[in-house]
Structure formats: C-alpha cells, structure tokens
Amino acid sequence: MDKDSNTHSLQNGTPKGPLSGIKVIDWTLWQFGPVAAMMLGDLGADVIKVEALSGEQGRAMFTLSGIDRSLPGGRNSYFEANQRNKRSIALDLKQPEGVEVVRNLVSGADIFLQNYRKGVAERLGLGYEDLKLINDQIIYGSGSGYGPDGPDAYKPALDTVGQARSGLMYATGSDGDDPYPIQGVVADQIGGIMLSWGVLAALYARQDTGVGQRVDASHLGSSIWLQGLGVSMSMLTAHKPASEANLTAKPSRDNAYNPISNYYKCKDGRWLMLANLEADRYWPTFASALGMEALATDEKFIDTESRAKNNQELIKLLDQTFESKTYAEWDQILSSAGDFIYAPVQQLMELWDDPQVQANKYIVETNHPTLGKVKLANHPIQYSETPSSIRRVAPEIGEHTEEILLETGYSWDDIADLQDKGVIL
C-alpha cells in the first residue's frame, strides 16, 4: 500500500490506527486491565468490554481518595478515564449461556485480556488452556498482583500493595521519611502499559509462528521495572559499604549531592527543577547567570566534589537567590544565558495550558455525548502514518450488546432468548 492510500484509509471517520482490524475481548476490571485494553483501542483495535449486568466495579468509583469524582448522568471520572475506545456487552457469567457468549466472541478474536485473581478464569472455563482450544491464535493477556508463579500467585492485589511490595513506596519523599504511595494509581497504570506492550510483542510473534500465547504482567514485576535503573544499580553495587541502606535512600532537598540538580522555590511560590548532571560543565556559566560569579572560583565550590562537601551551604545560597525572582524571570535568565536543563514543577491542572503539551497533543479535547467537551490524557506515542485516536468515549453498561451479538452470529430470536433467561440486559 502506498503512503497516501495508507494515510487516508479511514476507521469511523479517522485515519486507521496500527491495530485496525484486530479484535480484543476485554474482560478486565479496575484500572490495570482496562488501561491495557484502552491503549490497544487507541491504536485502532475493536475492543469489546465484557462486564457484569450490574456493570464493572469501576463504574461505582464516585469517590476516590476522599475526592468527589462523580459526573453528570451517573458517570464518574475514574471509569471515563480508563474505558474509552470500547464497546460494552453486559453478560451474566454465572450462567453457562453467558460464558458461551464469551467463548463465541473469542473464536473470532485476536486478543483476550483478563486481570482477575488466579483461578477465577479457569473455574469459568475462560483460562488460557480453555480458550486456545477454541482459537489457537488467541493472545491471552493476564494481569495479576504478584505474577503467575510462586507462593503468592493466588493472592489478591490492588495498586497500593503492588507499590508496597515492589519498593516503590520508598521512592518518594526524603531520606528518613515514612513510606508513601505515589498518587495516580501508578502501579495499575504501569501494569496496564506493560501488559499492552507484552500483548503487542506476542501479536508480532504470531506472524511467524501462526499460533498465540499467554502473556503475563503483574503489579510487582511492572513496578520493579518502573524503577529498573535504581533496582539494577543497587543490586550491582550491593557489595559496597552501606549499600543496603542506600537501596531505597532518598536525599533530602537541602542535602542534595549535586546542588545544581535540585529544586528551588521562586519568589512567586513556583518551584524550579534543575537537572544539570554534568555539574562541572555547567557550573561556571550557571553561577554567572545567577549573578554569583564569585562562587564559580570559590575553592569551596570549584568542582563537583567540593560542592558536594559543602552542599548545604551552597543550597542555602541558591535558595536565597531563587527566592529573589519569579519563575518567569528565572526562565528568561536561564534560557538566554546557556543550555541549562531545567523545568517548572507543574501541577496537573496546569498541563492543559502548557504550550508543549498542546503542540504534541498529550492532552486532547473530545466531544462527549453526556458531558460535552472533555479533556483526556492522550495516547502518549505519535505515529506518522497510522495515528492513534479517540473514537469512542466510555460506553454505558451493555450499550452495544445486541450489536456485538448480531456480529457474532446470534439471531434476534437468540437475543430474545438470552434476555428471557436474564443472561443479557
């Protein structure tokens, strides 16, 4: 296919994504699994969300961390954020007819995703060994708390226990602080990202082998990988003195080893983050830009080792200096004085107004049938020929049940029978 024809091929009025033509059965809940399915949907896959007649658990998350997350029309921001680009079919899987519907869907699908506790899918006849008998090309993506093997494989898990077990809770704050979970449900988020990545690798491998496979991702493994550099460096230097204490060590801001890779508060209350790791390269021009030329040749601060030895004194001086001007003023000074590495420390609600976020469409505005214009975090990767897209907002419970059943080969009489039995809404 030539470039022009590929670029202009449309899927629901938008350019086709790289997974156009791929069908995903999304039997997931909360955030871990739904994020994986959503990312595949962003890439053009047809994602069919299978949920209970009462709706997936995320539909009831009207309060999160004590914050009201409810939206008009009985919706909530938690579910909306995790469920776009999906069609919903609502089924009673306690009835064999409901399970049979899922198995029929799998027969024509490419990917099946689930993140239920180990053993749940198998008891229903929806485990990998069951489904590959129906479709040996199926890619079976499974998300769990602690991985498919080991003594705790059957234990339930949610985001914060994944953060706890992986060491991620010690990655925040300063040395000596109590552990604290990172906000934003990041263990679920990185778990979903890793599960989608694994599924894509298996989908590519299927081109050569002609058969599918099972792909497993977990809170524990994904959250360790999120800290991969720190984990691997710590393990590699575990033999060095005090290494055990340093595995999760976090320097406080006023004791940073490299004071020009640190953060400072400006006159207007905004924080400025410096990331000048090659400190000796930057130090002379940095000191000059701040009007502190004398420090550049001061023996106490002449090189990295000296600045580290006298870091607390230097940080106090830099604190006083940065507090003398607003962030905008320092931005102008630093941008014009050299190639310094720095950025404002932004809050989430500031991101929409960031011109760099806007230019790259990292957050996008889309029309919602109930909520009007809404802003959502966009798929984070750009594709020159097969762009990602937001084609659907989060569906209502069972919104597409009849449509999906008809596509799968069920007749209207079959649908009426399933309704009479209470298998579908």
Quickly state the pLDDT bin for 10 (edges 50, 70, 90): low
The pLDDT of residue 5 is 39
> Residue 89: in which H helix or E strand, if any?
strand 86-90
What's the Cα-to-Cα distance from 263 to each of 24, 171, 227, 316, rounded to whole Å?
A: 44, 17, 21, 12
**Full-model pTM:** 0.90
Residues 6+ apart with CB under 8 A from 217: 36, 141, 142, 143, 144, 191, 194, 195, 198
Quickly state the pLDDT bin for 113 (edges 50, 70, 90): very high
Angle (deg, nearest 10), helices 32-42 and 186-209: 50
What's the Cα-to-Cα distance from 211 to each of 160, 193, 408, rounded to whole Å?
A: 36, 23, 22
The pLDDT of residue 338 is 87
Give the C-alpha separation, 3 to 251, whole Å: 51
Q: Which amino acid, one-letter code, is at 297?
A: T
Per-residue HEC secondary structure of 116-141 comes to: CCCCHHHHCCCCHHHHHHHCCCCEEE
Q: Is 285 exposed, middle or buried (0-12, 13-18, 19+ CB in 10 A)?
A: middle
Mean pLDDT for 307-327 is 97
Give the C-alpha separation, 87 to 103, whole Å: 17
Among 19-28, 31-40, 149-158, 163-172, whose mean pLDDT is lowest?
A: 163-172
| CB-based contacts of 344-352 (< 8 A; 24+ apart in sequence) | 344/270, 344/271, 344/272, 344/273, 345/263, 345/270, 345/271, 345/272, 345/273
The pLDDT of residue 178 is 81
Quickly state the pLDDT bin for 176 (edges 50, 70, 90): low
Give the C-alpha separation, 199 to 225, whole Å: 17
State pLDDT tens for residues 361-399: 999 999 999 999 999 999 999 999 999 999 999 999 999
Q: Which amino acid, one-letter code, is at 82?
A: N
Number of H helices, E strands in the chain: 19, 17
CA-derived radius of gyration, the chain: 26
Helices (H), 9-82: 32-42, 77-82
Quickly state the pLDDT bin for 270 (edges 50, 70, 90): very high
Question: What is the 8-class DSSP label of residue 51?
Answer: E
What's the Cα-to-Cα distance from 395 to each of 94, 216, 248, 297, 333, rounded to whole Å?
A: 23, 27, 42, 64, 49
The pLDDT of residue 8 is 42
Neighbours of 272 (CB within 10 A): 18
Question: What is the 8-class DSSP label of residue 210?
Answer: S
Question: What is the 8-class DSSP label of residue 1?
Answer: -
The pLDDT of residue 174 is 59
More confident residue, 245 or 408: 408
Nearest Cα neighbor of 259 from 177, 345, 320 is 320
Q: How many CA atoms, within 13 angstroms, populate the side-chain half-sphere of residue 373?
A: 3
State pLDDT tens for residues 181-226: 888 899 999 999 999 999 999 999 999 999 999 999 999 999 999 9
Identify whether the C-beta of residue 39 lies closer than 8 Å to the C-beta of residue 193. Answer: yes
Identify whether the C-beta of residue 125 lies closer than 8 Å to the C-beta of residue 218. Answer: no
Evaluated on CA atoms 106, 112, 113, 117, the torsion sign reads positive
Reading the block at residue 182, the tokens are 């990172």
